[in-house]
Chain A
């Protein structure tokens, strides 16, 4: 059974710092990996999607990497801002031979950026 772990569970840093969030998964048979942001009481906003054949994706100040063979992904946030404060979720889509599987999520990293 696929398990996704996110470290750290919580992180608080001053504004302007660069930071890295970590995600690991136990089964490397995945279609893709997706990073989401969730604000309190809200739904999920997709940040980046990395296909299993890709090594990284970038969007603005965000960069996500994927090492499928070792079961790891990182989300790099450059020049952090108070508006980046949220819970960041990592999720993998299993490669089940063409079946319509949903995502398996980690518990998330609760990020606070101090002004």
Chain B
């Protein structure tokens, strides 16, 4: 256990559905991240939040909408996804930005049908 939890662990959704991924960290960190891991591609950074403010949006399509209501929770809202969005979505947190170790959750395996 890394102190970062993600729910659900598996999700199957149609292209017209709306769903949300949840991440919670129990480490007292103040920075949180969403990453996407697709088959045969490196892990890609999607969003960075520091002190509950978004500080980076890595050219992610608007069908992905992040939300960080407090420093312990991070959501990824999904709507009108495409089959190519099927991937493992990983959440991470760190004590601060720039020079701190990142701790990852177990991920949500998303399948878009």
Contact string against B for A residues 3-34, beta-carbon threshold 8 Å, 1 for contact and 0 otherwise: 01000000000000000000000000001101
Q: How far is the CA of A99 from the CA of B96 in the complex (A)?
A: 11
Number of interface residues of B (CB under 8 A): 30
Q: How far is the CA of A35 from the CA of B60 in the complex (A)?
A: 25
Q: How far is the CA of A78 from the CA of B97 in the complex (A)?
A: 32
**Is A107 touching B97 in the complex (CB atoms < 8 A)?**
no
**Is B98 touching A43 in the complex (CB atoms < 8 A)?**
no
| Closest B residue, CB atoms, query A6 | B42
Q: How far is the CA of A103 from the CA of B94 in the complex (A)?
A: 11
**Is B90 touching A98 in the complex (CB atoms < 8 A)?**
no
**Is A43 touching B97 in the complex (CB atoms < 8 A)?**
no
| Closest B residue, CB atoms, query A52 | B99
**Is A102 touching B33 in the complex (CB atoms < 8 A)?**
yes
Q: Does A93 count as interface, using CB distance less than 8 angstroms?
A: yes
Number of interface residues of A (CB under 8 A): 28
Residues of A within 8 Å of B103, CB to CB, are 46
**Is A100 touching B106 in the complex (CB atoms < 8 A)?**
no
* Given A4-B42, A44-B90, A89-B43: A51 touches B99 (CB 8 Å cut-off): yes
Q: Does A64 count as interface, using CB distance less than 8 angstroms?
A: no
Complex partner residue of A44 from B44, B55, B97, B104, CB under 8 angstroms: B104
* Given A42-B106, A43-B90, A45-B2: A102 touches B56 (CB 8 Å cut-off): yes
| Closest A residue, CB atoms, query B97 | A100
Residues of A within 8 Å of B35, CB to CB, are 102-103
**Is B102 touching A41 in the complex (CB atoms < 8 A)?**
no
Q: List 22 A-B contacts (CB under 8 A).
A: A31-B98, A41-B109, A42-B107, A43-B6, A43-B90, A43-B106, A44-B90, A46-B101, A51-B99, A93-B99, A95-B98, A99-B55, A100-B56, A100-B98, A101-B48, A102-B33, A102-B35, A102-B45, A102-B56, A102-B102, A105-B43, A108-B42
Identify the 8 closest CB pairs spanning chains A and B, nearest first: A102-B45, A100-B97, A44-B104, A105-B43, A43-B106, A100-B55, A100-B50, A105-B42
